[in-house]
Amino acid sequence: MQALDAAFAAKSDSVSVLLVDDGSSDLVPVDFGSGPYQRLKEINVVTLKKNVGHQRALAIGLCHIAEKMPCDMVVVMDSDGEDEPADAARLVEELQRRVNDTPRLAPIVFAERTHRTEGLGFKLGYFLYRTLHQVLTGRGIRFGNFSVIPFSRLAGLTVEPMLWNHYAASVIASRLPYATIPSNRGRRFAGQSHQSYLKLVIHGLSALSCYNERIGVRMLFFSSLLLAASIAAIVVAVILRLVLPHPLPIWGLVFVGILLVLLFQVITLTTNFTMQIISTRSVQPFLPARDYIWYVARVQRCPISV
């Protein structure tokens, strides 16, 4: 808290902090708000009824702010030290500059990681994820949660069903304006990340789920090309069988059989995926702004000592 307060010490506006306690069994310490602070005026803790994962905890925090904590802008950051308070101040400065230039087009400003400190396994997995993301969605991504949101954008963001699965991907998929500034990852205050490779894969799939319709159209286009190529190859094989004086070799028959099986699989998978996307459009989705309250156990205001 002291580092965050120091980062905004030169600014005239006050800072309020909302922490989301994602179902922790530990109580908030009595002296949690001990200061003194220059700009930090309020600390609130939203405690959830159960652990819902960091993306959904983030969504709940944003919904709580949109409903009960009106402000100028909202900085989204982790509390483990990897998101630097100094970079949070830079994000705010960048947003203020863009608001001054074009007030009606105020974007969400993300911190884009220019250097990662994780191990080789994580870097390789992240590269594969970014490649898959680019191929399936046609859009690249190099940033995560660390960002600043104009309060005017928050109401629209919290009624976006995709926010419940992945914050950054929901911003891109919903076509909200956004910008980036370079940022390095800081050092954790203590301990190691509890994000296993399994959780990271689920996190990546959650991001891709925000592009279901876009991915579906791309898969349909790719499947159509594969379908056309398979039909053309089968037609060529039949023509060769009728034209040539001797029968097709064994490998030719095997090739035709493989094409027929591939053709059937493509038609089946494409039809199922397309129907699934169509059916989800008629289902009432989870609406974060409306439904988040069911996960909130209590909201606690920590006394600030000055």
Q: Is residue 176 part of a domain?
A: yes
60 and 163 in one domain? yes
Q: How far apart are CA 146 and CA 135, in angstroms?
A: 25
- Which of the two residues, 65 and 240, has the higher pLDDT score? 65
Task: Give phi and psi for 74, each to the nearest 5.
Answer: -125, 125
Report whether 247 contacts 241 (CB < 8 A).
Answer: yes
pLDDT of 96 over the 80 cut = yes
pLDDT of 73 over the 90 cut = yes
Report whether 113 contacts 183 (CB < 8 A).
Answer: yes
Q: Is residue 240 part of a domain?
A: yes
231 and 110 in one domain? no
253 and 105 in one domain? no
Q: Is residue 228 part of a domain?
A: yes
208 and 272 in one domain? no
Q: Is residue 200 part of a domain?
A: yes
87 and 54 in one domain? yes
CATH assignment at residue 31: 3.90.550
155 and 6 in one domain? yes
- Smallest Cα–Cα separation from 61: which of 118, 145, 122? 145
The fraction of the chain above a pLDDT of 90, given in percent, is 23
Written as six digits, the tokens of 47 are 């405690």
239 and 123 in one domain? no
240 and 199 in one domain? no
Q: Is residue 288 part of a domain?
A: no
Q: Is residue 90 part of a domain?
A: yes
pLDDT of 175 over the 90 cut = no
- The pTM of the full predicted model, rounded to 2 decimals, is 0.77
Q: Is residue 70 part of a domain?
A: yes
298 and 257 in one domain? no
- Which of the two residues, 153 and 11, has the higher pLDDT score? 153
Summarised one tens digit per residue, pLDDT across range 178-227 is 999 988 776 665 556 556 667 667 767 777 777 777 777 777 788 778 77
First to last CA, the chain: 13
- Domain containing residue 268: 220-280
119 and 40 in one domain? yes
Query: How much is the pLDDT for 65?
Result: 95
The fraction of the chain above a pLDDT of 70, given in percent, is 85
237 and 185 in one domain? no
Q: Look at the chain and report how many structural domains it folds into.
A: 2
Written as six digits, the tokens of 291 are 């439904």
- Smallest Cα–Cα separation from 200: which of 248, 115, 130, 114? 130
Q: Is residue 285 part of a domain?
A: no
153 and 6 in one domain? yes
